[in-house]
Amino acid sequence: MNMSKPIVAIVGRPNVGKSTLFNQIGKKRVSIVDDMPGVTRDRIYLDAEWLNQHFTMIDTGGIEFDESNHILKSMRQQAQLAMDEADVILFLVDGRSGLTTADEEVARLLRSTKKPVILAVNKIDSPQRAMDVYEFYNLGLGDPIPISASNAMNLGDLLDAIVAAFPKKEEEVKDEDEISIAVIGRPNVGKSSIVNAILGEERVIVSDVPGTTRDAIDTHFTKDGTKFTLIDTAGMRRRGKIDEPVERYSVMRSLRAIDRADVVLMMINAFEGITEQDKKIAGYAHESGKGVVIVVNKWDIYPDKDDKSTLRFTDELRDKLGFLQYAPVLYTSALTGQRVARVTDLVRYVAEQQAMRIKTSVLNELIRDAVSVNPPPMHRGRQLKILFMTQTDICPPKFIIFVNDPELMHFSYLRFIENRLREQFGFEGTPLRLIVRARK
């Protein structure tokens, strides 16, 4: 069952406290993101949970647009993007500095959307400041919710209002044997081209042709008896209207697509090499826990190729996208069709790897071997004892390791266990979650 998570976009002037609020909400959840080197730290989105509802929150203030730094202009772009892509818009204003022209301008835009808009007035740090809220009724966006992001005041009420505004759940009917693919990557890496190349293959039977509206329409197809869905990251085919905000990379669309996918195709432009932006996008894929296949496209125009070129490029990938060690790499040309036929095979393979379950008895044998080859080092004169390990979930595979004292488990030892798991069982293309618990 794949249900896409609602997206909440925070819009607001610089310095109203967007990132402070963002970080406060982030603190409310248990962190599951592993501390792997290379994953970008300047987060602009986070996965949050409130009252059992999962959602993704995005700070539009952190999104880079192609346009200048002009505040009003970038505010308009933020608001437009939120109106296009988010499910709920959180408009944050500053109770200390009071109502500004930019706020009024943004409110005017937001009043035209049918999407729910929640207005929060920040920096209401004490009851004495409550009066600062009233002038914001003038924005015509309903009752403003007073909060203090830095003191974490009233955030519960705010989150209640956000969650209450989520669209009614529409259960997506998903065929269990169908493998959903999200194609992500920088503009111009060849996302549309590879999609078209895959759908144009001889053995592919397309059962559902994407429409031309701006709404996301997935494409269903079958190849060699396996059913696939290509998730449309809306706009993959659409070419922008002139007035549309030119976001350098559509974070919201990608997150939404990744969220609905079983396997993510992370596309890299061979000709241009691996950039900082690729690193960020790859970080989204990694943190999602979905299966990942790295596709290095435009291989046809890679300069001065020799028989070591793919090896060298793969080394560079492993170096720059260190957190994606587990992802298989394919060198393609969407233009000539080179290796395009392999894409779906790899996707199917990775989907199988993600769904693999290992018996507890087999895992414990692995632990016994691992410990005898490489006993856990002593820590403050105490020895880590691993009591047993069991797999509790798939997609991504999740393991719980019961020990005498979790404090004694060093990150590098956990890494060692992960490597043993991969050596023995593969788990290619999928991240693994290893959780350490004290035995009850």
In sequence order, the 6+-apart residues with CB closer than 8 A to the CB of 104 are: 138, 139
Question: Candidates 80-88, 118-126, 202-210, 393-401 — which segment interacts with ligand GDP by CB under 6 A?
Answer: 118-126
Distance CA 249, CA 277 (A): 8
Question: Candidates 66-74, 80-88, 294-302, 367-375 — which segment interacts with ligand GDP by CB under 6 A?
Answer: 294-302
The nearer residue to ligand GDP, 4 or 297, going by C-beta atoms, is 297
Q: Which of 61, 116, 144, 328 binds ligand GDP (CB under 6 A)?
A: 61
Q: Which of 78, 122, 254, 354 binds ligand GDP (CB under 6 A)?
A: 122
148 contributes a contact to ligand GDP by CB under 6 A: yes
Pairing outcome for strands 7-11 and 53-59: parallel
- The answer on whether 12 is annotated among ligand-binding residues is yes
Q: Which of 291, 298, 396, 397 binds ligand GDP (CB under 6 A)?
A: 298
Q: Are 159 and 147 in contact (CB under 8 A)?
A: no
- The answer on whether 303 is annotated among ligand-binding residues is no
Q: Which of 189, 251, 255, 351 binds ligand GDP (CB under 6 A)?
A: 189
123 contributes a contact to ligand GDP by CB under 6 A: yes
80 contributes a contact to ligand GDP by CB under 6 A: no
Question: Candidates 213-221, 329-337, 351-359, 405-413 — which segment interacts with ligand GDP by CB under 6 A?
Answer: 329-337
HSE of 199, CA atoms in CB hemisphere, 13 A: 20
Q: Which of 113, 188, 314, 424 binds ligand GDP (CB under 6 A)?
A: 188
Question: Candidates 149-157, 302-310, 350-358, 417-425 — which segment interacts with ligand GDP by CB under 6 A?
Answer: 149-157
- The answer on whether 58 is annotated among ligand-binding residues is no
Q: How far is the CB of 77 from ligand GDP (least distance, A)?
A: 15
Question: Candidates 50-58, 160-168, 189-197, 303-311 — which segment interacts with ligand GDP by CB under 6 A?
Answer: 189-197
Q: Which of 165, 199, 217, 335 binds ligand GDP (CB under 6 A)?
A: 335
Binding mask 393-412 for ligand GDP (x = CB under 6 A): --------------------
Q: Which of 79, 334, 386, 389 binds ligand GDP (CB under 6 A)?
A: 334
In sequence order, the 6+-apart residues with CB closer than 8 A to the CB of 78 are: 9, 11, 60, 61, 63, 245
Q: Are 119 and 142 in contact (CB under 8 A)?
A: yes
- The answer on whether 236 is annotated among ligand-binding residues is yes
Q: How far is the CB of 221 from ligand GDP (least distance, A)?
A: 18
- Residue 254 tokens, joined: 């990608």
192 contributes a contact to ligand GDP by CB under 6 A: yes
Binding mask 10-49 for ligand GDP (x = CB under 6 A): --x-xxxxxxx-----------------------------
- The answer on whether 273 is annotated among ligand-binding residues is no
Q: Which of 4, 60, 297, 391 binds ligand GDP (CB under 6 A)?
A: 297
310 contributes a contact to ligand GDP by CB under 6 A: no
Q: Are 53 and 87 in contact (CB under 8 A)?
A: no
The nearer residue to ligand GDP, 80 or 148, going by C-beta atoms, is 148
The nearer residue to ligand GDP, 105 or 300, going by C-beta atoms, is 300
- Residue 381 tokens, joined: 């004169």
Alpha carbon distances (Å) from 251 to 26, 52, 62, 72: 18, 24, 11, 21
- The answer on whether 211 is annotated among ligand-binding residues is no
Distance CA 104, CA 75 (A): 11
In sequence order, the 6+-apart residues with CB closer than 8 A to the CB of 239 are: none
199 contributes a contact to ligand GDP by CB under 6 A: no
Residues lying near ligand GDP in the complex (CB under 6 A): 12, 14-20, 61, 122-123, 125, 148-151, 185, 187-193, 236, 297-298, 300-301, 333-335
